């Protein structure tokens, strides 16, 4: 075969985006055979000529440049030639379609998606507060990088996208460990890259190799839809439940989140360490996209209930700060301070937040504010550090209804959560906020026995960590 024809075969291969390896794989030959053709050392036989013409979407005459006699193999028989011959307009139509796909792909991936996504992310953070779940936005440019690799005709480019899942997982771990931003929604960082890796290995790669990616628009649309669904899922979870109570694990102290109908209230903020408790409370709120509390309620002045409040309010604002009429209570310039000298009622939608007071001449514990969070599908009762005496004062005043969830008084002390309270409230679930191996022996064995006798399901922060109940 002369060099002119050999050069034409090489030129056609490059114009159609094939490497020698890729073309050899398509024809079922070795790379050395293709190389010999292009050096003029050998000539393709009739079957290979037909295969090349079909692969390049042209006739044999077009393949040979109008000079078939330059090749050693004879021309195909008329019947064979008729089999590969196509209408004159059909190759042009296909070529135009592929050209359109190529232009579309190039234009899409020249668009600065990463920059746009970063701008949107920063704008949302500055406007509404930073939300770790919003980092899923950053997966979109990663997807386009991945899809862009798929839409090229280079297997090397496709395979370069494979380490992306490992990179995302590393970012997830670094942020979780260093910034303490662990949150269930962040599991998306693990699920999505693993999903794409599996799809790439078991689905996209075979499709890519078999079809040479002649339908890039389908891949692009499917991937975009998948990412949109993942993004929506990061916000869907809080909407599945109308009421949520979270008892944070702060050691020997108490810090409780009450959430319903888009409102968030915190009851008490104190624990083993003021700084650590404030960190736990702030990170929990910020991980849910909450940078402002609707209200912070401090039941009484003990440090294990109030010690971290000022630190928290320097990081997370509150619309209202409700305090008992005691001296030495924390205050804030960023919140409206209300002293509960009488019962208070906050109502929004179908949710009522009752704050009960009593006037006792005993210890401050007995004057702890009592909080009843009354929602459409769940009632939660918090009695602070009241003993049986303070609990019975509330019962005699007719302020205690039946509830679904009870936060045990005084961290499960033997003198709190009395039988009269349990008989009146009939709680299905009881949560106890107590530190591990605390010096007070909380929760007391006597209290645990009473709860067992009433058939209550008991959760304890010293054993179970942070407790979250959704209804």
pLDDT for res 258: 96
**pLDDT at 243 exceeding the cut of 50:** yes
pLDDT for res 7: 80
**pLDDT at 290 exceeding the cut of 70:** yes
**pLDDT at 172 exceeding the cut of 80:** no
Highest mean pLDDT among 131-135, 228-232, 275-279: 275-279
**pLDDT at 304 exceeding the cut of 50:** yes
Span 349-366, mean pLDDT? Answer: 86
**pLDDT at 435 exceeding the cut of 90:** yes
pLDDT for res 246: 96
Highest mean pLDDT among 4-18, 138-152, 296-310: 296-310
**pLDDT at 265 exceeding the cut of 80:** yes
**Residue 69 pLDDT grade (very low, low, confident, very high; cuts 50, 70, 90):** very low
Q: In what order do the strands lie in the sheet with 243-247?
A: 336-339, 320-323, 295-297, 263-270, 254-260, 243-247, 467-470
Q: For 14-28, 171-185, 449-463, which range has the lowest pLDDT when averaged over its residues?
A: 171-185
pLDDT for res 71: 44
Highest mean pLDDT among 186-200, 290-304, 320-334, 348-362: 290-304
pLDDT for res 393: 92
**Residue 105 pLDDT grade (very low, low, confident, very high; cuts 50, 70, 90):** very low
Highest mean pLDDT among 113-122, 202-211, 240-249: 240-249
**pLDDT at 170 exceeding the cut of 90:** no
Span 63-84, mean pLDDT? Answer: 49
Percent of the chain with pLDDT over 90: 39
pLDDT for res 202: 47
Span 371-387, mean pLDDT? Answer: 95
pLDDT for res 215: 52
* C-alpha torsion 366→270→347→412, nearest 10: -50
Closest Cα partner for 86 from 49, 47, 52, 53? 53
pLDDT for res 354: 96
> Greater confidence, 222 or 276?
276
pLDDT for res 344: 95
pLDDT digits (tens, 9 = 90+) for 184-196: 445 555 555 555 5
**Residue 447 pLDDT grade (very low, low, confident, very high; cuts 50, 70, 90):** very high
**pLDDT at 108 exceeding the cut of 80:** no
**pLDDT at 216 exceeding the cut of 60:** no
Q: For 67-81, 153-167, 278-292, which range has the lowest pLDDT when averaged over its residues?
A: 67-81
**pLDDT at 260 exceeding the cut of 50:** yes
**Residue 419 pLDDT grade (very low, low, confident, very high; cuts 50, 70, 90):** very high
* Residue 132: Cβ-neighbour burial (10 angstroms; 0-12, 13-18, 19+): buried
Span 283-308, mean pLDDT? Answer: 90
**pLDDT at 8 exceeding the cut of 90:** no
Span 466-471, mean pLDDT? Answer: 91
Domains of the chain and any CATH numbers: 3-86 (1.10.260.40), 94-239 (no CATH), 243-470 (3.60.15.10)
Q: In angstroms, how far is the first alpha carbon of the chain from the final one?
A: 80
């Amino acid at each position: 075969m002369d060099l002119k024809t050999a050069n034409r075969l090489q030129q056609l291969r490059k114009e159609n985006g094939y490497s020698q390896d890729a073309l050899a794989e398509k024809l079922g030959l070795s790379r050395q055979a293709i190389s010999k053709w292009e050096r003029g050392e050998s000539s393709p036989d009739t079957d290979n000529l037909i295969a090349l013409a079909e692969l390049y979407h042209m006739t044999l005459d077009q393949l040979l440049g109008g000079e078939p006699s330059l090749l050693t193999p004879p021309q195909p028989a008329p019947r064979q030639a008729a089999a590969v011959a196509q209408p004159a307009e059909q190759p042009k139509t296909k070529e135009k379609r592929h050209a359109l796909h190529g232009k579309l792909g190039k234009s899409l991936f020249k668009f600065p998606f990463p920059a746009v996504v970063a701008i949107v992310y920063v704008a949302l953070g500055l406007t509404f507060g930073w939300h770790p779940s919003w980092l899923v936005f950053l997966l979109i440019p990663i997807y386009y990088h991945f899809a862009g690799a798929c839409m090229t005709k280079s297997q090397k480019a496709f395979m370069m996208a494979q380490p992306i899942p490992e990179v995302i997982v590393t970012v997830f771990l670094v942020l979780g460990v260093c910034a303490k931003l662990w949150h269930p929604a962040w599991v998306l960082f693990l699920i999505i890259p693993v999903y794409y890796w599996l799809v790439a290995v078991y689905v996209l790669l075979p499709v890519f190799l078999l079809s040479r990616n002649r339908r890039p628009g389908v891949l692009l649309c499917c991937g975009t839809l998948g990412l949109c669904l993942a993004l929506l899922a990061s916000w869907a979870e809080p909407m599945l439940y109308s009421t949520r109570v979270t008892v944070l694990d702060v050691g020997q102290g108490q810090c409780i989140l009450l959430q319903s109908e888009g409102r968030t209230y915190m009851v008490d903020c104190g624990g083993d360490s003021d700084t650590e408790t404030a960190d736990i409370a702030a990170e929990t709120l910020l991980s849910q996209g909450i940078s402002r509390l609707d209200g912070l309620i401090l039941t009484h002045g003990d440090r294990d209930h109030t010690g971290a409040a000022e630190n928290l309010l320097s990081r997370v604002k509150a619309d209202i700060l409700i305090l008992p009429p005691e001296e030495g209570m924390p205050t804030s310039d960023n919140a409206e301070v209300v002293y509960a000298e009488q019962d208070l009622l906050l109502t929004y939608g179908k949710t009522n937040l009752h704050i009960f007071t009593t006037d006792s001449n005993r210890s401050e514990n007995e004057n702890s504010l009592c909080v009843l969070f009354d929602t459409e599908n769940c009632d939660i009762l918090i009695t602070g550090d009241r003993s049986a005496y303070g609990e019975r004062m509330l019962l005699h005043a007719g302020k205690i209804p039946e509830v679904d969830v009870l936060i045990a008084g005084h961290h499960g002390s033997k003198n709190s959560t009395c039988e009269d309270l349990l008989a009146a409230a009939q709680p299905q679930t009881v949560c106890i906020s107590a530190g591990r191996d605390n010096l007070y022996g909380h929760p007391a064995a006597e209290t645990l026995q009473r709860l067992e006798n009433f058939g209550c399901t008991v959760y304890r922060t010293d054993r179970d960590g942070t407790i979250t109940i959704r209804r």
